[in-house]
Amino acid sequence: MKIIDKLNEDRIHISFEVFPPKTDAGFAKVREATDQIAKLNPSYISVTYGAGGGTSRNTAKIAAHIKEELGMESLAHLTCASSTKDEVRTVIENLKQLGIENILALRGDIPAGMTFPDENRFHYAYELVEEIRKHGDFCIGAACYPEGHVENEHKEDDIKFLKQKVDSGVDFLTTQMFFDNDIHYNFLYRIREAGITVPVLPGIMPITGAAQMKRSQELSGTVFPRRFLALLDRFGNHPEAMMQAGIAYATDQIIDLLANGVKNIHIYSMNKPEVAAKIMNNLSEIVKC
């Protein structure tokens, strides 16, 4: 089933993200975490694609496992900056052979030391979207950045490029993590004004440790509101308390989004089924409304 068909239903959908192991030795552990998350009955599970395409084989294996053995829809990530056009086409064909119907199309990070762009690589995510469209009847998702992409100086340019990407054939968008819901609401207003009408899933990251917060900020440049910083200051040196506080904060974000009419939520689980389970338990009655 295509994810866009789920997202267009008039009910709440909660999805989770997992990331594949960097080596085959870690595959069993990630598969077990995925199986535990699947027991929470999310609408789908997305599987990330490592820098340089290093995890591409395991991305496909986990996505196929989710679909075929767990009986749940999977969303396979695909990046293009670090792979040649032929390598990207090979991955797309492999996903098609595995029966994967949903792909999240991303440019991806540019590996250190690489000359980019070059003529043998797709330069932008919209080019990848167009290429995927040529290879089959996929449902295609893409990323968006409520606080603006770090490479774009002006938000107007960010929205212009996002519109170009959506117009290339994107069915739905998932946001980068954010920690202030007002940022998301403002972003929705601006993109709707620009004519972007596809479903947008807010991406929620439960921060359960100080090191995770630092890494998240380095990757996304996100702004942490004062009330979150106070939480980190008070509980950051107490792992169990920080986990409980981080889960509560993420739950509060989700409840506020749902109360304000958002139907679809994507949670960056960081391969932690215990965190995912506690969030879903906190929402047990709310998701039935």
CB 121 within 8 A of CB 84: yes
- Catalytic residue, from 17, 101, 131, 147: name it: 17
What is the β-pairing status of strands 264-268 and 172-177? unpaired
Residue linked to tokens 């167009």:
130
Label residue 76 exposed, middle or buried (CB < 10 Å: 0-12, 13-18, 19+).
Answer: buried
Q: Specify the DSSP element, H or E, that contains 172.
A: strand 172-177
Report the 10 Å Cβ neighbour count for 23.
Answer: 10
130 in active site = no
What is the β-pairing status of strands 264-268 and 13-18? parallel
Q: How far is CA 207 from CA 105, 149, 284, in A?
A: 25, 21, 21
Structure tokens at 165: 């990407």
Residue linked to tokens 């992409």:
149
Catalytic residues: 17
